[in-house]
Structure formats: C-alpha cells, structure tokens
Structure 1
Amino acid sequence: MGEPSREEYKIQSFDAETQQLLKTALKGEPGAPLELGWGGAEKGPCGATPLVSLPLDPGAVDLEKVANVIVDHSLQDCVFSKEAGRMCYAIIQAESKQAGQSVFRRGLLNRLQQEYQAREQLRARSLQGWVCYVTFICNIFDYLRVNNMPMMALVNPVYDCLFRLAQPDSLSKEEEVDCLVLQLHRVGEQLEKMNGQRMDELFVLIRDGFLLPTGLSSLAQLLLLEIIEFRAAGWKTTPAAHKYYYSEVSD
C-alpha cells in the first residue's frame, strides 16, 4: 500500500519542448536532468529547502502555460502526480520572491478548480485520470501554504474528492480505495485540524463501507480497517500494526 520510492521525479519524463519550458522556469543546467527534493525533510516544505541546482527564473516563461503543463501531465502520470507538489511549491516561492506576482499559482488553482468542477465526468471517462487528479490536489494541498497554514480554498475540494472515494461504487474499486487511504495518510491530520466535523462524516462513510462490505475485496477491507485504526491512534501507527497490515498487503 505504501508509496513508491521517494527518488526524485525527473523532468526528462516530458517531451523535449516541455523539458525546456520547465527547465527555464526552474533554471536548471541546460542538458542536465533536473531533480527536486527537500533538504532534511521527507516531504513538505516546513523547515525544508528546495534543492535546485541554480536560481529559479520564473519570469522567463509563460507561467500560466507551465501550470497547465504540470496539471495535464499530473492527470496522465500517476507517479508524477505524487511528486508535482514539490515542483509547484518551488515555482511559487521563486515567483513570489523574484517576480512579485502570482501568475503560476493563479493558473494552477484555476485549473484545479476546472478539473474539480468536472470531476464526475473525469471519473467516468478515466478512472486512472480521476485517481491522478485526487492524488495531485492532495499533493498540492500538502505543499502549498499561506502564512505557514494549508490553503483554506483547497480544504473543501479535497474533502469532496475524498468523500467521492468513500462512496459505495468507489469502494468496490481497489484503485480508489488505495487512493483514499494513501491520501488520508498524507493529508488526513491536516484536514482534520482544518475541519474536524467533515472528517468525522468521512469516517462514518468509511466505517459503513467496511461494515457493509457488499462488493468489497479483502484487500479493500484491510485498507479501510487500517486507516480507521490509524486515525483512532491519532494519525499514527505502531510498529506492530505497521508490520501486520503491510505484511498482509504484500502477501
């Protein structure tokens, strides 16, 4: 169930033209793979420094286009959707310091809103695209901060996406259950601090889904039980619980 390797995601996954666009926004060395990571932190910007080889230069490109490129790629690439928040955070920080504008952030949030409004159509069209979108918006919520606090504008959209994953027709699909559990591991504690009532309501759905397992696979049941216990323990897991659940999943 755990996320894949934390190895930094390379811009080389894009085509040559897009690589150049992103490298210009991030000002990487020409012809060299550009990677993003965080000094002294596994995830999240708090207290961590973005590791980029050269100073960022967001004013040199069309940042609205960059935002669209990142969102489009995130909807197609599940690995990238898990790492794109690092890139977005780095560009937003550079833009605010060097350009004194918020073109990229505005473009990013506009696209997130557009995809959010069309989320049912996206899910009907592509389950993978839908899972990628939920992963991406949770990743953005995890990284982006206003006055060192999560963005309030993203709280309800993120909750709405997680509520959709907790509906009976979604719980019957392991991809959506896995996405729900992974995102709650990532941002559940933050979301509960922002709106505890909605988290209570979400876990009523999750418990109902676990207790009334019509069409629920054994793996989905295990994942739901794990996240219920994880939250009950204060968003922490004991070594014994970790060993039990992860060994069950691997088996």
Structure 2
Amino acid sequence: MTTVSFHYWWGSNRSVPTSWLWMPGRPLKPEFAKNGTYYEHGGGKGLELQWRSVMEVQKPEWVMLLTWNDYNESYIEPVDDYKNYPNGTSDAPRGWYKPMAGLGELNRYFIQHYKTGVQPEITADSLFWCYRTSSQKLAASADPDRPPVKIGNGPVGDDLYLTTALTAPAELRVNSGGRETRHSVPAGIGQTVVPFQPGRQQFSLWRDGKKLVEAEGEPVVDAIEFYCYWPTTGYATAGR
C-alpha cells in the first residue's frame, strides 16, 4: 500500500497561532505554535512525480489518498475555504485556507492512469495552477516573535507551478504582477515553473493565434499579517 498526500510537504500547520488549529488527539500546547520546517511540494509537478513513483517504482496493489480524515492532512479535497464549513478551525480568518479544486481535479488524471494501467486520452485543453500567495521571505506583521519557517528540503523559490493537459502543443502565457512570459508547452501533461511577482496572476493558453483558455488566480501579496503557507489552486478547461 502507498499513501499519496500533500500535508507532509506543505507543513503549514505550524506557522499560525494555536487557536487556529484543530489537531486530533493533541492538546493545544504553546510548543505547537512554533514555526516548523517547510517542505515545498511543487504543485502539479510534485503530484505527477508522486504518481510516477507509485506506478513505475513502487507498484503497490492499492493507493490511499489522505482526504477527509483530518482537515490539515491533505490538499486534494474539493473544498474552497474550510472557514465556510463547521470544521474546528476556530478563529482562523476566511482566506487563510486556500481553494483546493485545482489539485483535486488534476488528481483525477493520475487516478485513472493508476487504476486502468493506460495513460488517459486528453480530449480537452486544460490548465492547472498552484502557488503560495506570498513570498517565503516575508515576515508577518502580527507575529513579530517568529521568523518565517525553516526550509526543509533545499531552496524554495517563490514560484507559480503550472500544469497543462493538452490535445496538441500550445503556448502558455503568464502575467505575474505585470511581468509577462511565454512558454511552449507540449501535448499531453506538461509542467512549467515561473517565478511569481506581487500582484495579479493571469494565465492563458494559445494555439495558432487563437486563445483557448484564460484564467486568473488569487493575487500574490507583498505584505502579510500572519504566516500562511497553504497554496492556492485552480483550473480552467477550454469550452467550459
């Protein structure tokens, strides 16, 4: 058996006041509020690497996806913001937890591949995004006693992780904080990593001079009140 989970990589449950957290089986103690080690997963790129390991190296009989057993144990649930539902997050403000739809939708592709043993046919052009909404280097104004979390698995870039699922090659255009970059992306599943800038985050897919998909993610901010390392995610599909 193999487990596919994002929780252990994002490590965000040690970067906020204890009263915001729901920790099953644990009393709330001051030491749990200390900033821990942050492990960058890499959005859809990291998810693809996990599934490649499952299918090509580990080859287990079954896979367990951590979803509903703990609100802080997964990042592939079809949830927009936990604060919209009764879940024990106490006084965490709306917007601290981020939408999960992007990685949840992308996961469908890899689940089907694992179950059938056949790479799924892509019948519609899609774009998925995943990124933190603030730089890892920012210090929280309302939390002066704690520095940003430590880095646990090497340097962490302030990046947009963009996954494309295409019927044919296309061009990915990214406008991050007013800075536009263009990237050639292949048919099938492709991964593109682009440094983010504070401001609006806009994405589009083009082929033969025609816009296929246009979308906008959550803005990246240049100042934070509290630490938050949850990534925001989303997706857009041509014709939908």
Question: Which TM-score tier does this pair reach, normalised by the shorter chain?
Answer: under 0.3
Pick 1 or 2: higher relative contact order, CA cutoff 8 A, min separation 6. 2
Q: TM-score, normalised by structure 2?
A: 0.28
Q: 1 or 2, which has the higher strand percentage? A: 2
Q: TM-score, normalised by structure 1?
A: 0.27
